[in-house]
A and B are shown apart, each in its own frame.
Chain A
Amino acid sequence: MRMFNDRKKARAFREFMYVLPFLILVAVFSYYPLYGWVYAFFDYKPPFPLSMKQFVGFKWFTSLLTNDVKLKQLLAVLRNTFAISGLSLLFSWFPMIFAVFLNEIKWKPFKVFVQTATTLPNFISWVLVYSIAYCVFSSTGVINSLLLNLGILKTPQLFLQSANHIWFKMWLWLTWKNAGWAAIMYIAAISGIDEQLKEAARVDGANRMQVIWHITIPGLIPTFFVLVMLNLANFLTNGLEQYYVFQNAFNKDYIQVLDLYVYNIAMGSGGYSLSTAISMFKSIVSVLLLCATNQISKMVRGEGFV
């Protein structure tokens, strides 16, 4: 290392080289795609490459707001996004409580069984989840057959076709699929809590619920907060697969979230510019939300998380 006469600098360079691959990965997969944002300012249509002739400025951004109908549609989409994200935020304690109770199961085989059974759905794709839903809830599905045979229903009930409680139903599906997976983080955090605290509490006469309430849960709160805030930053991102497979003509007004809306516009119609404009807007809002929650965290807890 003749390049560096200073040993310290040489070491710094070496260590920089260690992280360089990761920096390159981030640059290639996270920053380079931002270049695609230019499409939002053009009348882009494949197969023609971009040229300044097609430059349209903010046309696509303003086109969303040109009349009542479009505005109403956009507001409905935002309402769905907020409702569905809000619901999962509201119930974000659920995996934590689940992990706490799971931890209390003393018989090992049963505990392992429950954990495996709840984690597995995470690995099933949404398309398969919908086929399961179809088998269970269609007019000839398990539920309808049962209710018809018991004489509770006279004609089959079209569960998948109704928009009633659709946000809550979506939350249930999501929880069914994700709860076990989300609990893993908490289970790890629980094992990090000092056993001596619990033993001391038991010596002092605390019962099981009191140990959970005064030792385990306070020990999990920091983890909980970090996860909640990360979720908050992703508030506008519900993903689209779940809503894509469950959407139909009857529930679309309530199920179309922002990601799905972008997909529905762009795919099959080549509305690349407009959907880029919307997702650009989404990214900016997400960054703002992340900064805001970070500030709040600094104010409330005295420390940020980024």
Chain B
Amino acid sequence: MRVKKRAFQVLSAAMAAVMVAGCAGQTATEATKTAAAAGTGNYDEPMTFDFYDVAANYQGTQAGWFAKVVKDKFNIELNMISPQVAGNGIYQTRCSTGNLGDIVVLERTDFTDCVKAGLIKDISADIKNYPDLMTYNDQITVLNKALPENKDGKIYGIPCQMTNTSPTSYSQDVIKSSPLLRWDLYSELGRPEIKNTDDLLDILEKMMKAHPTNNAGDPAYPLSLWKDWDGGDGMLGIANVTQLTTWYGEIIKGSNILKPDNTFIPVNSKDGAYYKMLHFLNEANRRGIVDPDSGTQDWNTACDKMKTGRVYLMWYNWQVGFWNTQDRLKDGTAFIYTPIKDQIYYADADTYYGSGRVFAVGSQVDDAKYQRIMDFLNWYASPEGLNYQHIGLKGFNYTVGSDGKYTYINDNALMDNVTVPDEFGGGGFNDGNNAINQWMVDAISTNPATGEPYNKDYWSTYKAATMTQMKKDWAAKFGAAEPVDYMKKNNILLISPNVSVSLPSDPADISIIRKQCSDLFSDYSWRMIYAKDDGEFDSLWSEMCTQMDGMGFQELSKFDKDKYQIELDAKLAVNKK
């Protein structure tokens, strides 16, 4: 008994000690933090930036070559805080402490709310001293002027992915979503003309019949779908269908579809392209050309199938990056845009005013840190910073010729996580890649040093290196050098001008309706893809509409119509000019 009691006493004492020590530890770190922050404006004092970033896929301290770049340049470490990793709840908890982060990257509606809630620092007085940021003065001013209750034009944020082109131009060679087919398989079938999606299904079916497996013998299906991004991008519906609506000139804006004639219809209307493209996938499934695991697999599994040649249709322009290599472009087995005659494509113009996300400084930073954050942001917008963001390391990712033009080297650095030499910080290239994952200026912008865009795909040296037989054949058949040239020539590209407007965020009621309707819409969509016949497809569709109405879809649709009308009006005004 005595022993027991003694043990209990010791235990409690230890417990109390641990608790006290825990608190003490915290105060100690806090103290060092304050001391470190009281710097003098030079870079002698090392600093850590808490970087709240909605674009980041990585949480924790930046490592590898990019860590070395910012350490050498500014003597800082980047502590990434990513809601994509930690979950959206972190936004709520950090906001309630009044300190979201030292630097933040936010979606524009959240940014507007955060300015209102006093979480964002007013940088009007200082931004004028930063020449690289002031290059984009026009875009920055427009963004901040559009903030509600900001009549005197204070500056709070800097748009992401601005360009130095124009808000109505389209400078890229490809658009975000278009039908991409394997050139070798298409050629095998004699490169027939594709009139509509039924023809496309016929072709895919033939491809599957001719090649039921990839070279390794694993079963291949022309279409492999995944569910991870359903309801994302501010669009109701499954991500694999929402992109396909742009093939018919329609774009989903929240819970509505914007038709080419500039009218909104509800996303669950049978007149919309969502219905059409969902039906397309259903027909594909009935023909047996959809991967049966589509409903249960995640993006990683689907992506592995793309990498191993087990799919024959792609629809995102970046998706080809998992298959097209320079070798495959050479032997003609790469994916490329294949026109379908009845289609007309929707594309957003160059993001002159920014992509919708915003860089800003947290309101709680002290003066020394603020100084260095602004230095960092200015560098991030400078040609030097942009080269790191868009290409990587000079001498490892690119070389500079005697004429000043860049040449791309180690083109598998990202894909194969190639080891970086120690002089650049060592480690794998992908592991040490810029975890901010968000550019201040878009890669299509012109680099003043070369007169060419930052994006390597548009360098003259790269174009020359990738001018393969396949590219030549494609150009000969369709009479254009690049997909976008073809679309412009045939007048089948609808370019929606880039505008900078502030849209209202969802009130609490609407956000719940949105979530519940979005879940219903996605769940039913998946079941419709697997419907046995048109009867089942349509009965599921009408059942879904009833359910959505019960959740308050009408209210949501009305809210979104009013919301996106603001943006549409601004776009129409630009087009009139």
> Interface of A with B (CB < 8 Å)?
17-22, 24, 43-49, 63, 67-70, 134, 138-140, 155-156, 158, 160-161, 248-250, 252, 264-265, 267-274
Contact = CB atoms under 8 A, between A and B. Distances in A.
A249 B508 contact: no
Contacts of A47: 91-92, 95-96, 100, 110, 113-114, 117, 119
Given A47-B119, A69-B546, 16 more contacts: A18-B12, A19-B12, A43-B509, A46-B91, A46-B113, A63-B509, A67-B550, A156-B292, A160-B296, A249-B295, A249-B525, A252-B523, A264-B515, A267-B88, A268-B88, A271-B512
B12 A21 contact: yes
A248 B91 contact: no
Contacts of B231: 268
Contacts of B73: none
A250 B551 contact: no
Interface residues of B, number: 54
Contacts of B446: none
A200 to B, nearest CB: 31
B15 A22 contact: yes
Chain A binding surface SS class = loop
Chain B binding surface SS class = helix
28 contacts: A18-B8, A18-B12, A21-B19, A24-B19, A43-B507, A45-B508, A46-B95, A47-B91, A47-B96, A47-B100, A49-B96, A134-B301, A138-B297, A140-B219, A158-B296, A161-B530, A248-B227, A249-B295, A249-B527, A250-B527, A250-B530, A265-B512, A269-B512, A269-B514, A271-B508, A271-B512, A271-B515, A272-B92
Given A18-B12, A265-B512, A272-B92, A69 B547 contact: yes
Which 9 pairs across A and B sit closest by C-beta, in order of nearness?
Answer: A69-B550, A269-B515, A47-B95, A249-B526, A249-B523, A18-B12, A46-B92, A139-B292, A47-B117
A267 B518 CA distance: 13
Which of A19, A43, A269: most chain B CB closer than 10 A?
Answer: A269
Contacts of B550: 67-70
B293 A138 contact: yes
Contacts of B292: 139, 155-156, 158
Contacts of B463: none
Contacts of B8: 18
B539 interface: no
Nearest to A157: B292
B547 A44 contact: no
B295 A161 contact: yes
A250 B515 contact: no
Interface string B4-16: 0000110010011
Interface in B489-531: 505-509, 511-512, 514-516, 519, 522-527, 530
Contacts of A249: 227, 295, 522-527
